[in-house]
């Protein structure tokens, strides 16, 4: 009996899913992204390192910065208070600056010197903090290596591997915000 197209596609899908679950052989994984003429390459030699919640990536203008598990740049917000373990970015602010959240405990990739912790957001999700600074993505960053949120409104900054804000405006993008407490985004 000849298999139907549906049976064939189901088998192919299941095989690909299983292959993805099995992962690689623990060899070298290389990710390359080119943005605005700058190429950023991240190399990991351990399959687990690529799954770390917070990792270090080299940015051509800002140096080593913290990134999330998807290689997207992470930011801190000057309106938050270091060590308070609370966010001041909600509603439309959180739409523009989504928080880095985890279901369990955050993990560090190679080179991350910052202490990672979590706190509960109003939604009940656990937001990750690096050395007491809540971590966020910038929704306008489209690709790994983008850091267009750096210096926005002089309140959003990338972080060094030790969790220290890098207050350089090497890639500043300025946006306008409406008044009304949207957190300076």
Q: Is residue 149 part of a domain?
A: yes
Tell me which of 23-37, 139-153, 168-182 is least confident: 23-37
Is residue 157 within 8 A of residue 166, CB to CB? The reply is: yes
Residues 82-102, mean pLDDT to the nearest whole number: 97
Model confidence band, residue 40 (pLDDT cutoffs 50, 70, 90): very low
Question: Quick count: other Cβ atoms within 10 Å of Cβ 131?
Answer: 18
Q: Name, in order, each residue with C-beta under 8 angstroms of 30's C-beta and a sequence gap of 6 or more.
A: 41, 42, 43
Q: Is residue 162 part of a domain?
A: yes
What's the domain range around 157?
A: 54-166
| H or E stretch covering 116 | strand 116-120
Cα–Cα nearest to 147, from 134, 126, 165, 120: 165
Q: Is residue 95 part of a domain?
A: yes
Q: Is residue 35 part of a domain?
A: no
149-178, pLDDT tens digit by residue? 999 999 999 999 999 999 986 544 444 343
Q: Is residue 128 part of a domain?
A: yes
Q: Is residue 137 part of a domain?
A: yes
Q: Is residue 5 part of a domain?
A: no
How much is the pTM? 0.68
Q: How high is the pLDDT of residue 139? A: 98
Q: How high is the pLDDT of residue 13? A: 43
Model confidence band, residue 51 (pLDDT cutoffs 50, 70, 90): confident
Residues 36-46, mean pLDDT to the nearest whole number: 39
Residues 43-51, mean pLDDT to the nearest whole number: 45
Domain count, the chain: 1
Q: Name, in order, each residue with C-beta under 8 angstroms of 23's C-beta and a sequence gap of 6 or more.
A: 47
pLDDT tops 90 at residue 71: yes
Write down the mean pLDDT value for the chain.
77
Question: ∠ CA(130), CA(45), CA(26), 5° rounding?
Answer: 120
Q: Is residue 45 part of a domain?
A: no
Residues 120-146, mean pLDDT to the nearest whole number: 97
């Amino acid at each position: 009996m000849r298999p139907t197209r549906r049976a064939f596609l189901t088998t192919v899908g299941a095989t690909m899913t299983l292959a993805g679950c099995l992962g690689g052989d623990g060899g070298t994984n290389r990710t390359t992204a080119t943005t605005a003429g700058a190429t950023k390459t991240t190399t990991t030699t351990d399959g687990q390192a690529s799954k770390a919640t917070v990792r270090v990536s080299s940015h051509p203008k800002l140096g080593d910065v913290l990134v999330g598990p998807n290689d997207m740049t992470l930011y801190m917000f000057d309106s938050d208070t270091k060590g308070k373990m609370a966010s001041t970015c909600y509603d439309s602010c959180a739409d523009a600056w989504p928080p880095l959240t985890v279901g369990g405990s955050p993990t560090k990739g190679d080179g991350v010197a910052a202490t990672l912790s979590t706190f509960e957001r109003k939604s009940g999700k656990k937001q990750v903090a690096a050395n007491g600074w809540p971590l966020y993505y910038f929704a306008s960053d489209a690709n790994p290596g983008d850091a267009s949120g750096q210096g926005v409104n002089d309140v959003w900054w990338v972080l060094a591997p030790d969790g220290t804000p890098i207050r350089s405006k090497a890639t500043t993008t300025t946006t306008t915000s409406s008044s009304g407490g949207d957190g300076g985004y």
